[in-house]
Structure 1
Amino acid sequence: MTRLLRTAAAALAATTLLGLTVHTASAAPAAPPKFDFTDCPALPAGADPAQWRCENLVSTGTARFGALAEQPLGTMRLTFAEGRLDGKYAQVFGSLKAEPVEVPGGLFGVPGTERNPLLRLRIQVRYAGFSDFLSVGDRMGTQHLKVGVTSPLVPKSCTIGDDTDPIVFQPLRTAGPDVISTNPPVLRFAMADNAFAVPGPHGCGAFTHLLSRRLGVPAAANTNAMSLVTYVGLRGYP
């Protein structure tokens, strides 16, 4: 991801492009989201702040996996830093925060039961311990993800996938990058992955079998999909 964004950022700064075309957004684009840089990570020892920047990515989109029909995802905010260390490219993960979303049909998949506070079911995309934001062509890096499962009856530890058995998200760029603003610098692109597999439930106790059937997981590769539109805010380190 970062090679692509580095190129776009270079265009914003009127420096040399790295061989990728950066587009100017059409007239009257949707207003970009508000960016939050409070989770920018500390730089590694020996890093020159002038050679580093923090990136805050705000994404919205849809996902489907297993037996779960396509539905909107909560807004996701991903923060990380990238720069040079000992003459080489380096990156530091900051945070991934996503809004939980309600699953229609609730815990048992019965229409309307999501309105019962005890039977509601929410899912939330979470970080699963690994990220590599360096892109190769249109391949926008790799992130390990898991899906938090929240319901009053389900253990708080319940997730679909976990840090040892993650969803391996390797999206392809499908549009952009577009320059939305030069001051402050804001970019936009779209990406999607329909090749990943989804593991089964972890930490769900007595609800493991129920959730496996309810959500149709584990689900094989090429039977799931996630599509995102992402805005990128950039900030240097002082």
Structure 2
Amino acid sequence: MTPEAELAALEPGYADCPALPVGVDPARWRCEVHLASPRLRIGAVDLPAVRPIMMVHAEGPMADGTPGQAWGAWRSGGPTAVPGGLTGTAAGGRSRLLGLTLEPVYGGRADFYTGVLSLRFALAGPVLPRGCAVGASVPVEVHLKRPAPSVWVSRNPPLVHFSAYDDAFTASAPEGCGPLSGLLARRLGLPATSGNVISYEASYTFRMYDRLN
């Protein structure tokens, strides 16, 4: 994808820029729009291509000079099919009734200064109730690290590429999944305290708040 195409794909995210905290200088705050293409291994499930996720947030100095942030939005490209469905077999993968999808969902906490992000992993299928998820009651917390420095593709307008990952988070057992909770936990190999990995390649752009309109 060309830089022009990447910037065009990121542009809609500015509609989700959050309101600024009271008393801050808009000229020193920026709205960032990220587009990430994740890979996920959780328990016994390996998803090398999760649907893209757009994240929007704002950051800048608070009135007292300390670093501040404001959350904007999390927009998922939709659920990703889990190979093998509920049974983990070729037959399960072909069966509509036994189909299973997974979708990362924002868990209510994001700190872009430290890389901490809380997530839920929504699970869905024809025989699963709404609300079935890993991290349903207590979100899964990931601590994202950068394996290499960010790369500035363009300065004006800004376009930055970077990678991030966490290979040490704990994934809990699925909750809210009705009578199939036990079967689903065994199928997914959860809970799992090791072997879980989330990584992604991302692009982001930004605008200062005094130049948003």
For normalisation by structure 1, the TM-score amounts to 0.80
Distance of 2:19 and 2:208 partners within structure 1: 12
* Partners of 2:101 and 2:49 in 1: CA distance: 12
- What SS class does the counterpart of residue 129 from structure 1 fall into? strand
Question: Partners in 2 of 1:55 and 1:30 — Cα distance?
Answer: 17
2:72 aligns to what?
94
The answer (yes or no) to whether the contact 2:3–2:159 under 8 Å persists in 1 is no
Which whole-Å CA distance do the structure 2 matches of 1:30 and 1:150 have between them?
Answer: 36
1:113 offset after TM fit, Å? 3.0
Matching residue of 1:186: 159
In structure 2, the CA distance between the partners of 1:219 and 1:168, relative to structure 1 (3 Å rule), is same
Aligned partners of 1:176 and 1:188 also within 8 Å:
no
> What one-letter code is carried by the residue in structure 2 that aligns with 1:98?
S
Contact 1:55-1:232 within 8 A present in 2 as well: yes
Q: CA offset at residue 93 of structure 1?
A: 0.9
Structure 1 residue 122 displacement after superposition: 0.8
| Counterpart Cα distance in 2 of 1:116 and 1:183 | 49
Classify 1:30/1:147 alpha carbon distance in 2 versus 1 (closer, same or farther; 3 Å): farther
Give the fraction of aligned pairs with identical amino acids, expressed as a percent.
Answer: 36
TM-score normalized by the length of structure 2 = 0.89
2: distance between equivalents of 1:207 and 1:47? 50
Q: Which residue matches 2:133?
A: 159
Question: Does the 8 Å contact 1:104/1:112 carry over to 2?
Answer: no
**How many pairs are equivalent?**
204
SS in 1 for 2:138: coil
Q: Which amino acid aligns with 1:182?
A: R
The answer to whether the 8 A contact 1:59-1:75 is kept is yes
- Counterpart CA distance in 2 for 1:105 and 1:30 is 38
Change (3 A) 1:62 1:115: same
Q: Which amino acid aligns with 1:154?
A: L
Shift of 1:116: 2.8
Separation in 1, partners of 2:67, 2:30:
12
Distance in 1, Cα, partners of 2:171 & 2:165: 15
Within 5 Å, which residues of 2 pair with 1:153-232? 153-162=127-136, 164-220=137-193, 222-232=194-204
Q: Which amino acid counterpart does residue 123 of structure 1 have in structure 2? A: L
Report the equivalent of 1:146: 120
Query: Structure 2: which 5+ residue stretches go unaligned?
Result: none
Residue correspondence of structure 1 range 106-121 to structure 2 within 5 A: 106-121=85-100
Residues 92-101 or 111-120, more deviating? 111-120
**How far apart are residue 46 of structure 1 and its match?**
1.8
Cα displacement (A) at 1:130: 1.2
Q: 1:44, 1:103 → 2: CA distance?
A: 40
The correspondence for 1:47, drawn from 13, 17, 24, is: 24
- Could you tell which deviates more after superposition, 164-173 or 183-192? 164-173
- Separation in 1, partners of 2:145, 2:128: 34
TM-superposition CA deviations, 1:74-132 (whole Å, max 9, x none): 10111111111122210011122222111111122121433433221110001111111
Task: Give the match for residue 206 of structure 2.
Answer: 234
Alignment gaps of 5+ in structure 1: 1-27, 136-140
CA contact (8 A) 1:201 1:208 kept: yes
Q: What amino acid does structure 2 have at the position aligned with 1:79?
A: V
Detail structure 1 runs of 4+ shifted over 6 Å in the superposition.
none
What CA RMSD, in Å, does the superposition of the two structures yield over aligned residues? 1.8
**What amino acid is aligned across from residue 66 of structure 1 in structure 2?**
G
Contact 1:124 1:148 in 2 (8 A): yes
